[in-house]
Amino acid sequence: MAADATLKRTPLYDRHIALGARMVPFAGYEMPVQYPLGVLKEHLWTREHAGLFDVSHMGQAFLIPKDGRYETVASAMERLVPADLLGLEAGQQRYSQLLNAEGGIIDDLMATRLGHPGHEHWLYLVINASRKDIDLAHIAGHLADGIELRRADDLALVALQGPKAAEVLGRLAPAVGDLKFMRSLDLDLGGLWAHVSRSGYTGEDGYEISVKSADAGALVDRLLADEAVKPIGLGARDSLRLEAGLCLYGHDIDETTSPVEAGLVWSIQKRRRAEGGFPGADRVKAELAAGPARKRIGIRPEGRQPVRDGAPVLDASGREIGRVTSGGFGPSVNGPIAMGYVEAASAALDTPLQVVVRDKPLPAKVAALPFVPSRFHK
């Protein structure tokens, strides 16, 4: 691919080229879609061993209260997201969504109360690459004067995912083995400072590791020196997250989608459901009480033909009832899989469906999510 001067590069760009990656434009960056191993083998390697992903295109930022009180930033963010952030312990992380006034999802994000001594009052955010300027402007526009929003453009982010991830990272820092899912800590990784959370986007056990951009190459070199680790591109990242039933912003969730429709009610803790106080709370509460008009579902087409996003979904009689939002081939299930939204009356498990591919309706059914059982370290 010819270099595009308008595209950004992560601090690991040269490593990707040296490793033989095929680079593509993604969210304004030149990113590796696959390496010589190929998407299918990269996917299966991550399920069986440990895959290393460059996610440095994601946005990282800190919310810092000038009064030194965590409650100040937690309360401020709770006016923008439906998660319980006040209840976070030091080092604990939560998944949530920035909502608009209609209850639609501006973006989904990870929020962590830092646990490093002296920083327990800071809130650390990781947001999607394609939405980070929109998100940060939105957050900044709703903050009180006593809070600093500090972009962390000087940090890189990598993800180490798979059943061997804990063993591999534990050789550099044994303390990571004691981390529970959705917990984080700051530590020394062989002489490099790192913020490590036990989380990820594959359904596997693993870690997301934030380091200074200048140190990212050295960290990646150390991890790839382990025979259990191989570099993984965007292609396998997408098939892994689809098998795990995880939403991709701009496909499965957007500014028209509510967390209830998207099946993300688990990310809205009990206190927030009762109290509200976040944008679109009336819609969320109404959908919790009466059920949404449409629901995100898993779809298993019959045969071997993959379906792609945008494909119409029909009921057994041929009436259009929804659309596919993500679809492809699931290497771990050895067949086509998809997610999409359908009318709530057609969302029950095993309901017969038809999915239109190249103007031809193909038989399918509603399937349970995730397609592959999650293996988070709980």
List the end-to-end C-alpha distance of the chain, in Å, as a whole number: 42
**DSSP conformation class of 183:** B
What are the tens digits of pLDDT across the range 72-97? 999 999 999 999 999 999 999 999 99
Residue range 142-168: average pLDDT?
A: 97
Residue range 289-302: average pLDDT?
A: 98
At 2 the pLDDT is 42
Residue 63 has pLDDT above 80, yes or no: yes
Q: Assess contact for 34 and 22: CB atoms under 8 A.
A: yes
Residue range 119-137: average pLDDT?
A: 98
* Structure-token match 């059943």, residue found: 163
Residue range 175-190: average pLDDT?
A: 96
At 190 the pLDDT is 85
Distances (CA, A) of 290 to 32, 48, 311, 344, 368: 44, 42, 28, 11, 22
pLDDT, mean over the chain: 97
Residue range 264-292: average pLDDT?
A: 98
Q: Assess contact for 159 and 46: CB atoms under 8 A.
A: no
Bridge-based pairing state of the strands 8-9 and 105-113: unpaired
User: What's the rounded Cα separation, in Å, for the pair 260 and 9?
Assistant: 36
At 4 the pLDDT is 58
Q: How many Cα atoms within 13 Å fall on the side-chain side of residue 287?
A: 23
Which residue type occupies 372?
A: V
Distances (CA, A) of 114 to 68, 186, 262: 13, 8, 28
At 378 the pLDDT is 87
What does the block give as tokens for 44?
């299966």
Residue range 222-251: average pLDDT?
A: 98
User: What's the rounded Cα separation, in Å, for the pair 162 and 159?
Assistant: 10
Q: What percent of the chain has pLDDT over 70?
A: 99
**DSSP conformation class of 24:** E
> Using omega within 30 degrees of 0 as the cis cutoff, is the peptide bond preceding 370 cis?
yes
Q: How confident is the model at residue 316 (pLDDT cuts 50, 70, 90)?
A: very high
At 5 the pLDDT is 64
What does the block give as tokens for 88?
């976070």
Give Dmax over CA atoms of the chain in angstroms: 63
The 3-state DSSP composition of the chain as helix, strand, coil percent (nearest 5) reads 25, 35, 40
